[in-house]
Amino acid sequence: MNESELFKALADPTRRAVFERLADGEMNATDLRQGFDLSQPAMSQHLAVLRTAGLIAEQKYGRNVLYRINPDGVARIHQWLSRYNAFWPSRVDDLKQLLKEMDQ
Amino acid sequence: MNESELFKALADPTRRAVFERLADGEMNATDLRQGFDLSQPAMSQHLAVLRTAGLIAEQKYGRNVLYRINPDGVARIHQWLSRYNAFWPSRVDDLKQLLKEMDQ
DNA sequence: CAATCATATAAGTCTGTGCTTATGTATTTG
DNA sequence: CAAATACATAAGCACAGACTTATATGATTG
Looking at residue A100, what is its pLDDT? Answer: 63
What is the dotted CATH code of the domain comprising B3-103? 1.10.10.10
Q: Which of A77, A82, A91 shows the shortest C-beta gap to B75? A: A91
- Stated as kind and residue range, the H or E segment containing A65 is strand A64-69
Contacts of B85 in chain A (CB under 8 A): 98
Q: Is the pLDDT of residue B100 over 70?
A: no
| Contacts across the A-B interface (CB distance below 8 Å) | 91
Q: Is the pLDDT of residue A99 over 70?
A: no
- What distance in Å separates residue B35's CA from the closest CA in chain A? 20
**Mean pLDDT, to the nearest integer, of A82-90?**
80
Residue A96 has pLDDT above 90, yes or no: no
- Name residue A100's amino acid: K
- Concatenating the DSSP letter of every residue in B39-103 gives -HHHHHHHHHHHHHTTSEEEEEETTEEEEEE-HHHHHHHHHHHGGGGGG-GGGHHHHHHHHHHHH
Q: Does B97 touch chain A (CB under 8 A)?
A: no
Q: pLDDT tens digits, residue range A49-79?
A: 999 999 999 999 999 999 999 999 999 999 9
- Which chain D positions have some atom within 7 A of a protein CB? 5-11, 17-22, 26-28
- Is the distance from CB of A36 to CB of A46 less than 8 angstroms? no
**Beta carbons of B54 and B10 less than 8 angstroms apart:** no
The single-letter DSSP state of residue B12 is S
Which bin fits A38, alpha (ψ -120 to 50), beta or left (φ > 0)? beta
pLDDT at A91: 55
**Distance, Å, B10 CA → C27 C1':** 32
B42 touches chain A (CB under 8 A): no
Q: Are strands B27-28 and A56-61 parallel, antiparallel or unpaired?
A: unpaired
Residue B1 pLDDT grade (very low, low, confident, very high; cuts 50, 70, 90) = low
Residues 6+ apart with CB under 8 A from B86: A23
β-pair partners for A58: A67
What backbone torsions phi and psi does residue A39 show, to the nearest 5 degrees?
-70, 165
Lowest-pLDDT range, A38-47, A49-58, A95-104, B41-50?
A95-104
Please judge whether A13 and B4 are an interchain contact, meaning their C-beta atoms are less than 8 angstroms apart: yes
pLDDT at A101: 59
Residue boundaries of the structural domains of chain A: 3-103
State which residue of chain B sits closest to A6, comparing Cα positions: B11
Smallest CA–CA distance, residue A30 to chain B, in Å, is 23
